[in-house]
Chains A and B, each alone.
Chain A
Amino acid sequence: MTPARILLALVPAALLAALVMLALAALHSPALIRYYPVLLALNIAGIALLSGVMVYGAWRLALHLRARRPGARLTLRMLAAFGALALAPLVVVYFFSVQFVNRGIDSWFDVRIEEALNKASLLRRNTLEALRRDLVEQAAADAAALAQTPLSPDAATVRLLDDLRRAGDYEELAVFTPGGDVVAASGARGGALIPLAPASAVLATLGGGGRGHAELEPGDAGGLQWRVAVTVNQALDASPAAALYVLQAVKVLPLRYATLGASIQTALAEYERLVFLRRPLKFSFVVTLTVITLMTVLLAAWLALMFARRLAAPLGQLATGQRAVAKGDYRTRLTVTSGDDLGALVQSFNEMTGQLRQAQNQAEQSRRESEMQRTYLETVMAHLSSAVLVLDRDFNVHTCNKAARAMLPLGPTRQGRALGALVADEPHLAPLAEAITAPGRDAEWQSEVTLAGGGGRRVLICRCTRLPPESGLPGGYVAVLDDVTDLIRSQRDAAWGEVARRLAHEIKNPLTPIRLSAERMRQKFLPQLEEPGRGAMDRATRTIVQQVESMKRMVDAFSGYAQPMRMQTAPVDLNQLIKDVMALHEPPAGKIKTALELDPDLPRPEVDPGRMRQVFNNLMINALDALGGRDRAAVTVRTGVVRRGGAEYVEALVHDNGPGFPAEILDRLFEPYVTTKDKGTGLGLAIVKRIVEEHDGVIAAENPPAGGALIRILLPLR
């Protein structure tokens, strides 16, 4: 137990002890009554101390209320409740106690008792007055007897006094001069003591003409005795002026009168004493009661304040803790100050915050891990060349990666939309939607989808998988799309290359003996033949030679297409190169109009000038062939610089106003043996494409809305 707590326990105990002692002292405890003022002062000091403590406590409570400190309002309520519970009974008890004390003390003083005592006192006084008169008369008679004899301090006078004393049953009989000097005396207890002289006032009264004086005085052994003084006038005329002596008689009041009178007087005195003490007694009780009540009230209020504080402290702590928890701070730990229910509550709160904190940490850990996973997946998906589409069970687009948005194409707003709605906006996606939503699929399925969009014909491999229930999107689907257009095209190119090599190997080799054989036949048998056999031989051998030569050219062309190209690049003025090619293909005047729209500031790309001349030569041949026989035919060649994907390209456009490319071959235009010309080899555009691609360039064919055919070549600027 801390010193503060010990002090806190000792102070109320000491105050209670002082209170009890004051109460006992007020009840006239013999041991404590002498310390009554000290105890009263102690209690008043205690009241002052407690008042100070309460004022301080109220001030602190007011500050806490103003600061809206948690628990302050509860403390105030409990203090008010405890105070009302303690104060109301105390006030009632105090009020009735005070009334009881006042009425109780007043009830001691009965009017009838007082009247009886007064009457008894009056009776006593009357009796004593009668006795006094008789005694004065008797003493006067004795004085008259003495007046007949000359008085002197001699034995005769003493004997006379003795006789009179015995006769009158006096305790003492003495003669004094008017000045108070003893002349002679007679006492029942002998003459050892000098009799006390009458008081000077008595002597003066007698000297002034009074007949006699008698008064009662305390006697020996607590009794009463009469002291009577009368004049002894020895003159014949008995004039007061002739009085020479004073006779003083002391007579003990008879015991029965004394006892009776003493009883009456004692009772009356005690009654009067009590009457006098009534008000101080009331005051004493009321003050004591007030001090005790005040002390009790303040003690109760103090204890109530402490109790309320102790009770509200954990609740205030809890309120603070709850606020912290509401703000997300789970580190709050409350101090358990007691082992009672509130302590258990605080303990539970601590356990709760601990669990919350643990859960928060776990959630935070999970969130971080999830975030990392998500980032990881996003990164992976963003860098995937395959398009990934995640759809829910209703085929609404849930997620799509960057490749999907570029491949299909889908904008950011497509996410969350139904696949059907996407098809409505983008009809070219209908085959894809059909492949994904086709009924009767298993958990995984795969199909090839061909889309013909603005970017050209695209061939996609669509692999769909139904998501498992624990995936977070139960019943959903994930579709992975791989654009295999280029792959197929490459495979096709490779196949054609292989075909070309085989043709070169399998066909070109027999051509030479065929040609040689035909020429030997011509040389050997033509001179020997006669017409018309000679003519037929001539035409046949010539045809064989021509066709063999044609086949050889074709096979050479195939070989050129299939064999790797050896490039000798250098910065080339592409505008000048185009002008040179155009000069070679200058058409007859008025037939076809050619136009050059060349960028004068065109940079020089690193190209093989021979190969590039071959490209433009083939393109011009194709264009002129396509425009043959058309009115107002025109070919336009444009050059310029464009930016694509952060890089600069030299762009060259060859545009004619012919019929355009047939739609059915548009996507296969650059494949070998794809041609619309009767006599074409079908390798012109395939070679053009190969040369451009050998320069890391891009070539595309399209039919622009304005009409005609357009070949677009992009050559990178390094």
Chain B
Amino acid sequence: MVTAAVAAGVMPAPAAARDFRIVDVAAAADGAAVDFRAVLELPFSEEAAEAVDKGIAVTLGLNINLLREREWWWDKGLGEWQVRAEVRRHRPSGRYLLRVDGPGGGGSGGLTSGNGGLDSGNGEPAGDGRSFPSLDAALEHLGRGLGARLPLAESLQLRSERYRLKVKAVVLFDMLPAPLRLWAYVAPSWRMASRATSWPLAP
């Protein structure tokens, strides 16, 4: 009874989760890597947006699996990558900052919208291209095109085999502050993720 009373005061209230969506994926392979670019819809729940407003950095992860299709057996995994994008608010300026890390050169190492190993923009910067006046603007900018160059351990036989990329966007709870992790695991408002979608890999 005590537990129930206490839990009632601290348990997360039910809230509608908002799902991410992978709108489009463009991927092209050459001998050494796969050039990958995804268009995403990244709607944040009110609580997640409030967390960012309150200065908590939220890291999104784009999990990418490269699979070789097989007819009579499960598809074979050839590689896994994760592209991370951290969004946080710069309190002194009141602006929202994006930081993208991932494979293919180790990321920009800072706030970026440039076209190094990672690309969080499509050449049309929101705001000044490094910071954004609102969270929506930052997420919209991130969703317009999150790209990476994924290095390959072996060359692909694109002419004889069929490959596909399995992509899923999630919030990385492990990157949240410790007190928030357990809450994020159980609170419906933090269940923000896309479905795993598959996209063919073009030569």
- Chain A: residues with CB nearer than 8 A to chain B? 28, 33-34, 36-37, 40, 91, 94-95, 98, 102, 196, 199, 215-218, 224, 227, 258, 261-262, 265-266, 268-270, 272-273, 275-277, 279-284, 286-287, 290, 293
Q: Are B91's CB and A266's CB within 8 A?
A: yes
Provide the residues of chain A in CB contact with B16, threshold 8 Å: none
Interface 9-residue window, one of B37-45, B62-70, B100-108, B174-182: B174-182
B92 at the interface (CB under 8 A from A): yes
In the complex, the answer to whether B93 meets A217 with C-beta atoms within 8 Å is yes
- A94-B2, A272-B55, A282-B10 known; A217+B128 contact, CB < 8 A: yes
Asked whether, in the complex, the Cβ of B181 is within 8 Å of the Cβ of A199, the reply is: no
Known contacts A40-B182, A91-B2, A286-B7; is-contact A276 B95 (Cβ 8 Å): no
- Which residues of chain B come closer than 8 Å to A227, judged between CB atoms? 128
**B183 located at the interface, meaning its Cβ lies under 8 Å from any Cβ of chain A in the complex:** yes
Residues of B with C-beta under 8 A to A40: 182
| Mask: chain B, 122-158; 1 = CB below 8 Å from A; 0 = not | 0001111111000000000000000000000000000
A121 closest partner in B (C-beta): B91
Contact yes or no, A36 B181, CB < 8 A:
yes
A98 with B6, Cβ < 8 A, contacts A36-B178, A276-B50 known: yes
What is the CA–CA distance of A269 and B90 in the complex, to the nearest angstrom?
A: 9
Q: Does A218 lie within 8 Å of B91, measured CB to CB?
A: no
Q: Do B92 and A216 have beta carbons less than 8 Å apart?
A: yes
Q: How far is the CB of B174 from chain A (nearest CB, A)?
A: 6
Task: Give the contacts of B1-55 with A (CB-CB under 8 A).
Answer: 2-3, 6-7, 9-12, 50-51, 54-55
Q: Given the known A-B contacts A270-B55, A281-B179, A286-B10, are A34 and B174 also in contact in the complex, defined by CB atoms under 8 Å?
A: yes
B56 at the interface (CB under 8 A from A): yes
Known: A98-B2, A98-B6, A286-B10. A277 touches B92 (CB 8 A): no
| Across the A-B interface, the 5 shortest Cβ-Cβ residue pairs | A280-B183, A276-B54, A269-B91, A281-B179, A269-B55
**Complex Cα spacing A396 to B181, Å:** 103
- Asked whether A217 lies within 8 Å of B10 as measured between CB atoms, the reply is no
Question: Given A217-B95, A290-B3, A284 and B9 touching (CB < 8 A)?
Answer: no
In whole Å, how far is B76's beta carbon from the nearest beta carbon of chain A? 29
Closest to A217 in B: B93
Determine if B185 is an interface residue (Cβ-Cβ < 8 Å): yes
B174 with A273: CB separation less than 8 A = no
Q: Which of A224, A268, A269, A280 sits near B179, CB closer than 8 Å?
A: A280
With A and B bound together, what is the CA distance between A270 and B55 in angstroms? Answer: 7
| Contact between chains at B180 and A280 (CB < 8 Å) | yes
Nearest-CB residue, chain B, relative to A272: B54
Known: A276-B50, A280-B183. A218 touches B95 (CB 8 A): yes
Smallest distance from the beta carbon of B96 to chain A beta carbons, Å?
11
- Contact between A196 and B91 (Cβ–Cβ < 8 Å)? no
When the two chains form their complex, are residues A218 and B182 in contact, meaning their CB atoms are under 8 A apart? Answer: no
Among the listed B91, B129, B180, B185, which residue makes an inter-chain contact with A277, where contact means beta carbons less than 8 Å apart? B180
| Cβ–Cβ contact A218 & B11, under 8 A | no
How close is B50's CB to chain A, nearest CB, in angstroms?
Answer: 7
8 Å CB contact of A33 from B90, B131, B178, B184: B178
